[in-house]
Structure 1
Amino acid sequence: MSSDAMTEARDWIAAYTPRPHPELGRGGVVCPYMVKALRRRYVDMVEFDANRGDEALAALARERLTDLRRRAEEAGKDRIYLVNMIVPVGLPSDEAKAMVGRVHNALKPEWVEAGYMLGDFWPDHETIGLHNDDFRPFTSPLPLLGMRHIVPADLFFFVKHERDPEQRLWCLRMFRKNFAPELNEYWTGVLEDAEADVTRELSTVPLAG
């Protein structure tokens, strides 16, 4: 079972992420960074026995983040193309999906604060695309947990997918803390506009009590 799952995950990543998609809503491939990541063999995948539970998956994810940060130091500018993926095996898809969702939600703040994205993938994922609300970019044939370095374009994920304004503001602040000195004029403007928008949104929220 496990080797089949790893093969399925690898085949999906290779066939889906570096290619165009008719529902993407823009030109180009689904994930431009994965083109170089796959070509240079920067994608590292490991199995996880999902019967071990949430805490074990979280522990493995932290180990993989430590490994990713070590690899980033060695890779220099190529660090943005490094990817670590965890493939849970041994449980029915719905149970593995629920596990990935729980662990993703619990660990995401740690990753964002460290300057990394933590991604959850599974069949029929409900999250919409950035450029087309009918596109579901995180739909995969089996549940997966992935991580990579944050890049400037991830600002749009924070703006569109973080519906809670306080959480969105926190993500933007973490982004600024980690990347402000590296941003060009365009991305600096995007960040400032996003911060201004969420500040205005929060000013309209009634105070509790």
Structure 2
Amino acid sequence: MSGDLTTEARDWLTAYAPAPHPDLGRSGVVCPYMVKALRRDYVHMVEFDAAEGDEALMALARELLGELRERAEGVGSDRIYLVNMVVPYGLPADELKAMVGRVHAALKPEWVEAGYMLGDFWPEHETIGLHNDDFRPFTSPLPLLGMRHIVPADLFFFVKHERVPADRLWCLRVFRNIFEGQLNDYWTEQLEAAEADVLHELRELESAAA
């Protein structure tokens, strides 16, 4: 691979994530954390030959997670700005998209439990935004697999995007364990409200099934 796709991915990320967007649904930039990540050169992009298959991509992702943890030890509180992005190539675009989707689904629970977010990006991504259902935050010009440290604001991703109540409850409990003793009053209240909502939803489902 010539590196052209990696350049395209970095150019997109640099133009998109640390900038406002008319469909975002709130003021500010798409991803506030990416401003410092890019400014301090904390974004690490790695190419991957998709012809090697899903297992090879999962192995690379785990290797990069280990590398991310090592990098985190040397930057202290800046660890939340460390980002790894995998740029797969070598297959038709629809196959690359499917591969990223499969690997993301397979590894996501492992990443969350480890205290990291795993993101899937591709053209015309269907996932809606947190503040505007017409916004598609994970749409990128080419399929990508990204990873970074979990931050308190990720609570809203779990609340809105985990549509299966049992999965949402699991994510919230892991989130609570990760941030035990670290959340301020605002995030504590948000977490407690989210837990109460999902427990209520689960009780209603149990009653309907009885």
TM-score, reference length from structure 2: 0.97
SS at match of 1:206: helix
Correspondence 1:40-79 to 2 at 5 A: 40-79=40-79
Aligned partner of 2:94 in structure 1 is 94
Matched, 1:118 2:118: yes
Count of paired positions = 209
Aligned partner of 1:168 in structure 2 is 168
Aligned partner of 1:8 in structure 2 is 8
Root mean square deviation of aligned Cα: 1.1
SS at match of 1:118: strand
**Structure 2, unaligned stretches of length 5 or more?**
none
Matched, 1:202 2:206: no
Shift of residue 75 of structure 1? 1.1
Aligned partner of 1:35 in structure 2 is 35
Q: Return 35-44 or 177-186, whichever deviates more.
A: 177-186
Identical columns (%): 77
Q: State the distance in 1 between where 2:4 and 2:196 align.
A: 48
Shift of residue 56 of structure 1? 0.1
Q: State the distance in 2 between where 1:142 and 1:169 align.
A: 32
Matched, 1:80 2:80: yes
Shift of residue 180 of structure 1? 2.3
**Structure 1, unaligned stretches of length 5 or more?**
none
Deviations 1:158-200 (A, max 9, x none): 0000000000000000000111211101000100000000000
Deviations 1:60-92 (A, max 9, x none): 000000011111111110000000000001111
Moved over 6 A (4+): none
User: What is the identity, as a one-letter code, of the residue corresponding to 1:182?
Assistant: Q
CA contact (8 A) 1:2 1:90 kept: no
TM-score, reference length from structure 1: 0.98
Deviations 1:126-177 (A, max 9, x none): 0000000000000000000000000010000000000000000000000001
Q: Return 66-75 or 150-159, whichever deviates more.
A: 66-75
Shift of residue 33 of structure 1? 0.2
Shift of residue 2 of structure 1? 4.3
CA contact (8 A) 1:2 1:47 kept: no
Matched, 1:154 2:154: yes
Q: State the distance in 2 between where 1:9 and 1:151 align.
A: 23
User: What is the identity, as a one-letter code, of the residue corresponding to 1:45?
Assistant: M
Q: State the distance in 2 between where 1:114 and 1:71 align.
A: 15
Q: State the distance in 2 between where 1:184 and 1:137 align.
A: 27
